[in-house]
Amino acid sequence: MLDKRDREVLCAIVQSYINNPDPVGSRFITRKYAFSLSPASIRNIMSDLDEMGFLRQPHTSAGRVPTDKGYRFYVDYLCSHEHQHDNRAFFYEITRELESIKNDIDVLLSEATKRLSNFSRYLGVALSPKAGSATFNRITLLKHRRNHVVTVLFTG
């Protein structure tokens, strides 16, 4: 089980990696986030998170990157922390409202992003690639539940 400090460091690493997909180092975390911890303490926490399977280190001198387990924790933490909304009612309502515009992908993406962003109070961006011009740089599958997977497609 992760303590508060471990959770905060893990969330900082995942958020940093989402913003810039390069391995995240302890000095970066110490400088960017207001933790009252030394880079050595952050490194120890990162090592523990690595051993628990939340992070991995691409090579010895690199920082850490989140694993699927790390992403899963981050998403679950965001969904349960601070936001105590009735998620089922919200998602039922948004599904019902968006059903009428499902044939216009640009409007659908715009409205869905706007509503989810308002709900989560986090920035949301969604773009639809032009037909035939999309090249996938990376595809990430995140296990959501036993029979559900979230797919994140990165195009370039």
Q: What is the predicted pLDDT for the residue at 156?
A: 62
Cα–Cα distance, 110 to 94 (Å, whole number): 13
pTM for the full model? 0.54
Q: What is the pLDDT of residue 88?
A: 64
* Alpha carbon distance 65, 63 (integer Å): 7
CA distance 137 to 122: 24
The pLDDT of residue 83: 46
**Residue pair 71/142 in contact by the 8 Å Cβ criterion:** yes
Ordered by start, the domain boundaries in the chain are 4-80, 87-155
Instruction: Give the model's pLDDT for residue 61.
Output: 81
Domain 4-80 sits in CATH at 1.10.10.10
Q: pLDDT 10s per residue in the chain (156 long)?
A: 788 899 999 999 998 998 888 999 999 999 888 788 899 999 999 999 999 999 999 888 889 999 999 999 988 887 665 544 456 666 677 777 777 777 777 787 888 888 777 776 677 777 666 656 666 677 777 776 666 666 676 766
Q: In this structure, what token pair is assigned to residue 8?
A: 């905060």
Report pLDDT for 113: 81
pLDDT of residue 112: 80
- Residue 81: the pLDDT is 55
